[in-house]
Homo-oligomer: A and B are copies of this chain.
Protein backbone atom coordinates (compact mmCIF):
# COMPACT_ATOMS: atom_id res chain seq x y z
CA UNK A 1 0.00 0.00 0.00
CA UNK A 2 1.63 3.19 -1.18
CA UNK A 3 1.53 6.48 0.63
CA UNK A 4 1.25 10.02 -0.65
CA UNK A 5 3.95 12.09 0.94
CA UNK A 6 3.28 15.31 -0.93
CA UNK A 7 1.25 16.93 -3.65
CA UNK A 8 3.07 15.12 -6.47
CA UNK A 9 4.99 12.38 -4.70
CA UNK A 10 4.23 8.90 -3.41
CA UNK A 11 6.47 6.60 -1.38
CA UNK A 12 6.22 2.91 -2.09
CA UNK A 13 5.58 0.72 0.94
CA UNK A 14 7.42 -2.33 -0.36
CA UNK A 15 9.60 -0.77 -3.06
CA UNK A 16 9.59 -2.90 -6.21
CA UNK A 17 12.88 -4.39 -7.32
CA UNK A 18 14.44 -3.56 -10.68
CA UNK A 19 15.30 -7.15 -11.34
CA UNK A 20 16.55 -6.91 -14.90
CA UNK A 21 17.10 -4.43 -17.68
CA UNK A 22 18.47 -4.12 -21.19
CA UNK A 23 19.55 -1.41 -23.61
CA UNK A 24 19.77 -1.62 -27.38
CA UNK A 25 21.39 1.12 -29.45
CA UNK A 26 21.98 2.13 -33.04
CA UNK A 27 25.35 2.45 -34.75
CA UNK A 28 25.93 6.13 -33.93
CA UNK A 29 25.03 5.63 -30.27
CA UNK A 30 27.29 2.58 -30.30
CA UNK A 31 30.19 4.81 -31.32
CA UNK A 32 29.59 7.29 -28.47
CA UNK A 33 30.80 7.45 -24.88
CA UNK A 34 28.57 4.55 -23.79
CA UNK A 35 29.71 2.23 -26.56
CA UNK A 36 30.78 -0.52 -24.17
CA UNK A 37 27.62 -0.28 -22.07
CA UNK A 38 24.81 -1.34 -24.41
CA UNK A 39 23.62 -4.93 -24.48
CA UNK A 40 23.34 -4.80 -28.24
CA UNK A 41 24.44 -2.36 -30.93
CA UNK A 42 22.76 -2.64 -34.32
CA UNK A 43 24.99 -2.15 -37.35
CA UNK A 44 21.90 -2.20 -39.58
CA UNK A 45 19.68 0.86 -38.97
CA UNK A 46 16.76 -1.11 -40.47
CA UNK A 47 17.16 -3.91 -37.91
CA UNK A 48 16.46 -6.26 -40.82
CA UNK A 49 13.07 -4.66 -41.56
CA UNK A 50 11.73 -2.80 -44.60
CA UNK A 51 10.75 0.54 -43.01
CA UNK A 52 12.00 2.82 -40.24
CA UNK A 53 8.82 2.28 -38.24
CA UNK A 54 9.19 -1.49 -38.41
CA UNK A 55 12.87 -1.11 -37.51
CA UNK A 56 11.94 0.85 -34.39
CA UNK A 57 9.39 -1.77 -33.47
CA UNK A 58 11.88 -4.61 -33.98
CA UNK A 59 14.39 -2.78 -31.77
CA UNK A 60 11.84 -2.53 -28.94
CA UNK A 61 11.06 -6.22 -29.29
CA UNK A 62 14.75 -7.15 -29.12
CA UNK A 63 15.22 -4.97 -26.05
CA UNK A 64 12.15 -6.45 -24.35
CA UNK A 65 13.39 -9.99 -24.98
CA UNK A 66 16.88 -9.16 -23.72
CA UNK A 67 15.48 -7.67 -20.50
CA UNK A 68 13.34 -10.77 -19.89
CA UNK A 69 16.40 -12.95 -20.53
CA UNK A 70 18.58 -10.96 -18.18
CA UNK A 71 15.87 -11.07 -15.49
CA UNK A 72 15.63 -14.83 -16.11
CA UNK A 73 11.93 -14.41 -16.69
CA UNK A 74 9.84 -15.95 -19.45
CA UNK A 75 7.67 -13.14 -20.91
CA UNK A 76 4.56 -15.17 -20.04
CA UNK A 77 5.34 -14.58 -16.35
CA UNK A 78 4.81 -10.84 -16.76
CA UNK A 79 1.56 -9.44 -15.41
CA UNK A 80 1.71 -6.20 -17.41
CA UNK A 81 3.74 -4.45 -20.06
CA UNK A 82 3.70 -0.65 -19.85
CA UNK A 83 5.04 0.84 -23.04
CA UNK A 84 4.84 3.77 -25.43
CA UNK A 85 6.83 5.66 -28.03
CA UNK A 86 6.94 8.77 -30.18
CA UNK A 87 5.38 7.47 -33.38
CA UNK A 88 1.86 8.49 -34.30
CA UNK A 89 -0.56 6.21 -32.44
CA UNK A 90 2.45 4.66 -30.65
CA UNK A 91 2.73 1.94 -33.28
CA UNK A 92 6.27 0.85 -32.55
CA UNK A 93 5.40 -0.36 -29.06
CA UNK A 94 2.01 -1.84 -30.01
CA UNK A 95 3.46 -3.80 -32.93
CA UNK A 96 6.47 -4.86 -30.86
CA UNK A 97 4.28 -6.29 -28.10
CA UNK A 98 1.45 -7.73 -30.17
CA UNK A 99 2.57 -11.34 -29.89
CA UNK A 100 3.51 -11.29 -26.20
CA UNK A 101 0.04 -12.24 -24.85
CA UNK A 102 0.77 -10.04 -21.83
CA UNK A 103 -1.80 -7.49 -20.57
CA UNK A 104 -0.73 -4.21 -22.13
CA UNK A 105 -1.04 -0.59 -21.04
CA UNK A 106 -0.08 1.92 -23.72
CA UNK A 107 1.29 5.23 -22.48
CA UNK A 108 2.14 8.51 -24.11
CA UNK A 109 4.59 10.73 -22.30
CA UNK A 110 6.83 11.62 -25.25
CA UNK A 111 10.45 11.38 -24.09
CA UNK A 112 9.31 11.06 -20.45
CA UNK A 113 7.81 7.65 -21.25
CA UNK A 114 10.43 5.57 -19.41
CA UNK A 115 9.80 7.35 -16.12
CA UNK A 116 6.04 7.29 -16.67
CA UNK A 117 6.09 3.56 -17.40
CA UNK A 118 8.33 2.89 -14.39
CA UNK A 119 6.00 4.99 -12.19
CA UNK A 120 2.85 3.18 -13.27
CA UNK A 121 4.57 -0.21 -13.24
CA UNK A 122 5.95 0.32 -9.74
CA UNK A 123 2.56 1.37 -8.40
CA UNK A 124 0.91 -1.69 -9.97
CA UNK A 125 3.45 -3.90 -8.20
CA UNK A 126 3.40 -2.06 -4.87
CA UNK A 127 -0.41 -1.85 -4.93
CA UNK A 128 -0.66 -5.62 -5.10
CA UNK A 129 -1.94 -5.78 -8.67
CA UNK A 130 1.13 -7.36 -10.21
CA UNK A 131 4.15 -9.44 -9.35
CA UNK A 132 6.17 -8.49 -12.42
CA UNK A 133 5.87 -5.62 -14.89
CA UNK A 134 7.99 -4.61 -17.85
CA UNK A 135 8.49 -0.91 -18.65
CA UNK A 136 9.85 -0.49 -22.15
CA UNK A 137 10.28 2.30 -24.67
CA UNK A 138 12.53 3.47 -27.47
CA UNK A 139 12.98 5.82 -30.40
CA UNK A 140 14.63 5.73 -33.81
CA UNK A 141 16.39 8.67 -35.45
CA UNK A 142 15.09 7.90 -38.92
CA UNK A 143 11.41 7.38 -38.05
CA UNK A 144 11.45 10.49 -35.86
CA UNK A 145 13.14 12.65 -38.52
CA UNK A 146 10.58 11.87 -41.15
CA UNK A 147 7.63 12.19 -38.81
CA UNK A 148 8.67 15.36 -37.02
CA UNK A 149 11.00 17.12 -39.42
CA UNK A 150 12.13 16.34 -42.98
CA UNK A 151 12.71 13.28 -45.14
CA UNK A 152 16.26 12.09 -44.47
CA UNK A 153 17.13 12.56 -48.15
CA UNK A 154 16.37 16.28 -47.89
CA UNK A 155 19.43 16.75 -45.71
CA UNK A 156 18.06 19.78 -43.85
CA UNK A 157 20.53 21.88 -41.88
CA UNK A 158 19.94 21.53 -38.16
CA UNK A 159 19.64 24.45 -35.75
CA UNK A 160 22.41 24.73 -33.13
CA UNK A 161 19.81 24.17 -30.41
CA UNK A 162 18.37 21.08 -32.13
CA UNK A 163 18.81 17.62 -30.66
CA UNK A 164 19.48 14.27 -32.27
CA UNK A 165 16.83 11.61 -31.74
CA UNK A 166 18.50 8.58 -30.22
CA UNK A 167 18.17 5.26 -32.00
CA UNK A 168 17.87 3.17 -28.92
CA UNK A 169 15.58 1.36 -26.53
CA UNK A 170 15.51 0.52 -22.86
CA UNK A 171 13.52 -2.03 -20.90
CA UNK A 172 13.30 -2.65 -17.17
CA UNK A 173 11.60 -5.52 -15.36
CA UNK A 174 10.05 -4.51 -12.05
CA UNK A 175 9.19 -7.23 -9.57
CA UNK A 176 7.97 -7.70 -6.06
CA UNK A 177 10.67 -10.30 -5.46
CA UNK A 178 14.24 -10.62 -6.67
CA UNK A 179 17.58 -8.91 -6.35
CA UNK A 180 18.50 -5.44 -7.56
CA UNK A 181 18.02 -1.78 -6.77
CA UNK A 182 14.58 -0.61 -5.62
CA UNK A 183 12.23 2.03 -6.91
CA UNK A 184 11.30 3.88 -3.73
CA UNK A 185 9.55 7.14 -4.63
CA UNK A 186 7.64 8.59 -7.55
CA UNK A 187 7.11 12.26 -8.34
CA UNK A 188 4.61 12.67 -11.17
CA UNK A 189 4.85 15.78 -13.28
CA UNK A 190 2.23 18.37 -14.06
CA UNK A 191 2.18 19.81 -17.56
CA UNK A 192 4.24 23.01 -17.79
CA UNK A 193 4.07 25.34 -20.77
CA UNK A 194 6.64 28.11 -20.66
CA UNK A 195 5.47 29.56 -23.99
CA UNK A 196 8.38 28.27 -26.10
CA UNK A 197 7.27 27.80 -29.72
CA UNK A 198 10.58 26.84 -31.36
CA UNK A 199 10.34 23.12 -32.18
CA UNK A 200 14.11 23.18 -32.75
CA UNK A 201 14.68 24.05 -29.12
CA UNK A 202 13.04 21.32 -27.10
CA UNK A 203 15.57 21.70 -24.32
CA UNK A 204 14.31 25.21 -23.60
CA UNK A 205 10.71 23.99 -23.68
CA UNK A 206 11.34 21.06 -21.33
CA UNK A 207 13.73 22.67 -18.81
CA UNK A 208 10.94 24.52 -16.94
CA UNK A 209 9.03 21.22 -16.59
CA UNK A 210 12.14 19.54 -15.20
CA UNK A 211 12.62 22.46 -12.82
CA UNK A 212 9.01 22.20 -11.62
CA UNK A 213 9.23 18.44 -10.98
CA UNK A 214 12.60 18.61 -9.22
CA UNK A 215 11.31 21.44 -7.01
CA UNK A 216 8.14 19.47 -6.26
CA UNK A 217 10.18 16.38 -5.46
CA UNK A 218 12.50 18.22 -3.10
CA UNK A 219 9.58 20.00 -1.41
CA UNK A 220 7.52 16.81 -1.04
CA UNK A 221 10.42 14.75 0.31
CA UNK A 222 12.24 17.46 2.23
CA UNK A 223 15.37 16.54 0.32
CA UNK A 224 17.86 18.35 -1.89
CA UNK A 225 20.63 17.48 -4.33
CA UNK A 226 22.81 16.63 -1.31
CA UNK A 227 20.60 13.59 -0.65
CA UNK A 228 21.43 12.03 -4.03
CA UNK A 229 24.57 10.55 -5.44
CA UNK A 230 23.44 11.55 -8.90
CA UNK A 231 20.49 13.32 -10.52
CA UNK A 232 19.65 12.72 -14.18
CA UNK A 233 17.31 14.55 -16.49
CA UNK A 234 16.04 12.76 -19.57
CA UNK A 235 16.95 14.63 -22.69
CA UNK A 236 17.34 18.34 -22.15
CA UNK A 237 20.58 18.42 -24.10
CA UNK A 238 23.28 21.00 -23.46
CA UNK A 239 20.97 23.97 -24.02
CA UNK A 240 18.24 22.66 -21.71
CA UNK A 241 20.81 21.45 -19.17
CA UNK A 242 22.21 24.95 -18.82
CA UNK A 243 18.73 26.51 -18.64
CA UNK A 244 17.69 24.08 -15.89
CA UNK A 245 20.90 24.76 -14.03
CA UNK A 246 20.32 28.51 -14.05
CA UNK A 247 16.61 28.13 -13.18
CA UNK A 248 17.50 26.03 -10.14
CA UNK A 249 20.42 28.22 -9.13
CA UNK A 250 18.09 31.20 -9.13
CA UNK A 251 15.90 29.27 -6.71
CA UNK A 252 18.89 28.71 -4.45
CA UNK A 253 19.64 25.06 -5.26
CA UNK A 254 23.25 23.96 -5.23
CA UNK A 255 23.49 21.26 -7.89
CA UNK A 256 27.24 20.72 -7.73
CA UNK A 257 28.54 18.09 -10.14
CA UNK A 258 25.74 15.67 -9.34
CA UNK A 259 23.45 16.77 -12.09
CA UNK A 260 23.78 15.15 -15.51
CA UNK A 261 21.57 14.97 -18.57
CA UNK A 262 21.15 11.70 -20.48
CA UNK A 263 21.09 13.64 -23.76
CA UNK A 264 24.63 14.83 -23.04
CA UNK A 265 25.92 11.47 -21.83
CA UNK A 266 24.97 9.40 -24.84
CA UNK A 267 26.94 11.30 -27.51
CA UNK A 268 30.27 13.05 -27.76
CA UNK A 269 28.97 16.46 -28.80
CA UNK A 270 32.40 17.62 -29.96
CA UNK A 271 32.80 14.93 -32.58
CA UNK A 272 29.41 13.36 -33.28
CA UNK A 273 27.57 16.34 -34.81
CA UNK A 274 24.50 16.10 -32.61
CA UNK A 275 24.32 19.80 -31.77
CA UNK A 276 22.64 20.18 -28.36
CA UNK A 277 22.65 16.41 -27.65
CA UNK A 278 20.39 13.38 -27.70
CA UNK A 279 16.62 13.20 -27.36
CA UNK A 280 13.76 10.75 -27.86
CA UNK A 281 12.13 8.12 -25.66
CA UNK A 282 15.14 5.89 -26.26
CA UNK A 283 17.61 8.46 -24.92
CA UNK A 284 17.08 8.27 -21.17
CA UNK A 285 15.63 4.74 -21.41
CA UNK A 286 18.83 3.36 -22.92
CA UNK A 287 21.09 5.47 -20.69
CA UNK A 288 19.20 4.20 -17.64
CA UNK A 289 19.61 0.57 -18.64
CA UNK A 290 23.11 0.83 -20.09
CA UNK A 291 24.77 3.27 -17.73
CA UNK A 292 22.84 4.27 -14.59
CA UNK A 293 21.57 0.90 -13.36
CA UNK A 294 24.85 -0.94 -14.04
CA UNK A 295 26.71 1.78 -12.11
CA UNK A 296 24.31 1.34 -9.23
CA UNK A 297 24.85 -2.41 -9.39
CA UNK A 298 28.60 -1.79 -9.07
CA UNK A 299 27.97 0.40 -6.03
CA UNK A 300 29.17 3.63 -7.68
CA UNK A 301 25.88 5.35 -6.89
CA UNK A 302 23.50 4.29 -4.13
CA UNK A 303 20.63 6.72 -4.54
CA UNK A 304 19.70 8.23 -7.87
CA UNK A 305 16.94 10.58 -9.01
CA UNK A 306 15.90 9.80 -12.58
CA UNK A 307 13.81 12.63 -14.07
CA UNK A 308 12.70 11.98 -17.64
CA UNK A 309 11.46 14.93 -19.65
CA UNK A 310 8.96 15.04 -22.52
CA UNK A 311 7.61 17.63 -24.95
CA UNK A 312 3.91 16.96 -25.49
CA UNK A 313 3.64 18.68 -28.86
CA UNK A 314 3.05 17.41 -32.39
CA UNK A 315 3.98 18.77 -35.81
CA UNK A 316 0.32 19.81 -36.15
CA UNK A 317 0.30 21.80 -32.91
CA UNK A 318 3.57 23.46 -33.92
CA UNK A 319 2.18 24.35 -37.36
CA UNK A 320 -0.84 25.89 -35.65
CA UNK A 321 1.48 28.22 -33.75
CA UNK A 322 0.99 26.56 -30.40
CA UNK A 323 3.66 26.60 -27.72
CA UNK A 324 5.16 23.36 -26.40
CA UNK A 325 3.61 21.86 -23.25
CA UNK A 326 6.18 19.75 -21.43
CA UNK A 327 6.27 17.30 -18.58
CA UNK A 328 8.84 15.65 -16.35
CA UNK A 329 8.29 12.49 -14.33
CA UNK A 330 10.83 11.51 -11.68
CA UNK A 331 11.54 8.27 -9.84
CA UNK A 332 13.99 7.52 -7.04
CA UNK A 333 16.08 4.39 -7.43
CA UNK A 334 18.25 3.16 -4.58
CA UNK A 335 20.22 0.19 -3.38
CA UNK A 336 20.06 -0.71 0.26
CA UNK A 337 23.61 -1.42 1.33
**Which residue numbers of A lie inside 8 Å of B, CB to CB?**
1-4, 8, 10, 13, 50-51, 53-54, 79-80, 84, 86-91, 94-95, 97-110, 116, 119-120, 123-124, 126-131, 188-193, 312-317, 320, 322, 325, 327
CB-CB under 8 A from A53, the residues of chain B are 316-317, 320
B104 lies within 8 A of A90 (CB): no
Check A91–B317 contact: CB distance below 8 A: yes
Residue pair A325, B1 in contact (C-beta under 8 Å): no
For A320, what are the chain B residues with a Cβ–Cβ distance below 8 Å?
50-51, 53-54
Query: What is the total number of copies of this protein in its complex?
Result: 2
A132 to chain B, nearest CB (A): 11
Q: Which of B102, B105, B130, B191 contacts A98 (CB 8 A)?
A: B191
Chain B hits for A313, CB < 8 A: 89, 91, 94
Bound CA–CA A99/B193 (angstroms): 8
Is the pair A190, B129 in contact by a Cβ cutoff of 8 Å? no
Q: 21 A-B contacts, Cβ less than 8 Å apart? A: A1-B1, A2-B127, A4-B130, A4-B131, A10-B129, A51-B320, A89-B108, A89-B110, A89-B313, A91-B316, A94-B191, A94-B313, A94-B327, A95-B312, A100-B190, A100-B191, A102-B190, A103-B189, A104-B188, A106-B116, A107-B108
Please give the distance in Å from A327's CB to the nearest CB on chain B: 6
Does A97 contact B1, Cβ atoms closer than 8 Å?
no
**In contact, B314 and A104 (Cβ under 8 angstroms):** no
User: CB-CB < 8 A to A315: which residues of B?
Assistant: 88
Residues of B within 8 A of A130 (CB): 4
Chain B residue nearest in CB terms to A188: B103
Please give, as numbers and ranges, the residues of chain B lying within 8 Å of A99 by CB-CB distance.
Answer: 191, 193
Known contacts A2-B129, A89-B312, A95-B317; can you find 14 more A-B pairs with CB under 8 A? A4-B129, A8-B103, A53-B320, A89-B313, A94-B191, A94-B325, A94-B327, A95-B322, A98-B191, A98-B325, A100-B190, A105-B109, A106-B109, A106-B116
Residue of B nearest to A51 (CB): B320
Roughly how many angstroms separate A124 CA and B124 CA in the complex, as a whole number?
8
User: Which residue of B has the minimal Cβ distance to A109?
Assistant: B106
